[in-house]
Structure 1
Amino acid sequence: MTSSTLPLLFFTISLILILHAPLPTLGTNFCETICDEAGKDEARCLEILKVDPKMVKASSYAEISKLILKLGEEKAASAQKALKEIMKTNPSPAIAECATTFYDGVVASFKSSLGELKVDALTANYDAKVAGDGPTTCDKALASANIVNPSISTLNKDILLISKLAFIATNKIPQTA
């Protein structure tokens, strides 16, 4: 290698590393970065996250993770309350299981993830992902019981998406050794 080739090689490698850095690009906020990774759910993700000005102004993945997890905990508790109301008019065992067992787990997973956020980002990431198990299992239980309820399906879909977004966000928090 000639002496002029070495600086050019260093410049090229530096440029490649900068272009592939896992930080939001100029003019893009953390919401958009996370929603971009949500794939087919990108539009719904933006609808959910951009409602809260704090999310749009988040300055780190830790901050937006905390906000998404709080949103998940609130929405899961609200969904559980709605499921318990539906259970009053439709006392199906599948709906009862969704309203109690499955959504108890969802709320607990979001709460646990939020608690682990400052202590262990990897465990917080795992708990955020596990929060999506409740809506998925609820959908399966309803399908097995031949219950079609669009309002429950919508609740499950939104909670599943929030779990996915929390997983994406917490996965971007730098791990400390």
Structure 2
Amino acid sequence: MNSHRTLAMKHVAAAAIALFLIIHSPSQTDARILKNSPSTLVESVCKNALNYSDCVSALESDPQTPSASDLKALAKIAFAIAVTNTTNGKDYIAKMAKDSSTATSLVPALKQCVSDYESAVVSFDSAKVELDEDVMSANYDAKAAGDSAVSCETSLNSTRLDVPSVRARNYYVNLFSNIGYVITDMLES
């Protein structure tokens, strides 16, 4: 009977150890949560941005973001994404302006938007270069890029026509402008 009791105790001990390991090991859900959580660096920037979740999504759209070791590295990634995004937006708007199905009353506003987006690309590019030379100038250029989107929006509003696809692109130029401004402001501090 003693051997049965010893065997039972061993089974209880094994079950207790197994239960302990199950309780204290990270679950797949926990691992997914950790993997999908923004880095501390991204979080510190995005909590100061206009829209936290859009900021996180925008920054994490680049696979290099998790490897950013400091604010300057993250700023370079953000400005590179901004240049690509804004260039794609400019190309989209230029194509729309040339499309024969576009309302003729909208074409001048779209051409103004193309010019505004060209300015925004230059501002984002300048900001990226200035990170190594003059952070205050990078901060100014990041903000100026957003002014280009506001100018485009004003041109669109003058037509009294709603163009959601361009408004969405303006939103993202403004978002990247804000992200760049927040990061460079943090670098200045």
- TM-score, scaled relative to structure 2: 0.74
* 1:37 correspondence with 2:48: yes
- The count of residues paired between Structure 1 and Structure 2 equals 147
* 1:50 correspondence with 2:66: no
> Structure 2: where are the runs of 5+ without partners?
1-37
Query: 1:57 & 1:67 partners in 2: Cα distance?
Result: 10
Write the letter of the residue equivalent to 2:45: I
Q: Which of 95, 98, 102 is the equivalent residue of 1:85?
A: 95
* 1:75 correspondence with 2:85: yes
Q: Which of 128, 136, 141 is the equivalent residue of 1:122?
A: 136
Q: 2:72·2:187 contact (CA, 8 Å) conserved in 1? A: yes
Higher helix share: 2
CA-CA distance at 1:53 after TM superposition: 2.9
CA-CA distance at 1:62 after TM superposition: 0.6
Q: Secondary structure of the equivalent of 1:165?
A: helix
Q: 1:17-65 CA distances to partner (integer Å, 9 max, x unpaired)?
A: xxxxxxxxxx9521111111114x1111111112223212211111101
Larger radius of gyration: 2
Alignment correspondent of 2:71 = 61
> Structure 1: where are the runs of 5+ without partners?
1-26
C-alpha root-mean-square deviation of aligned residues, in Å?
1.5
The percentage of counterpart residues that share the same residue type is 27
Alignment correspondent of 1:140 = 154
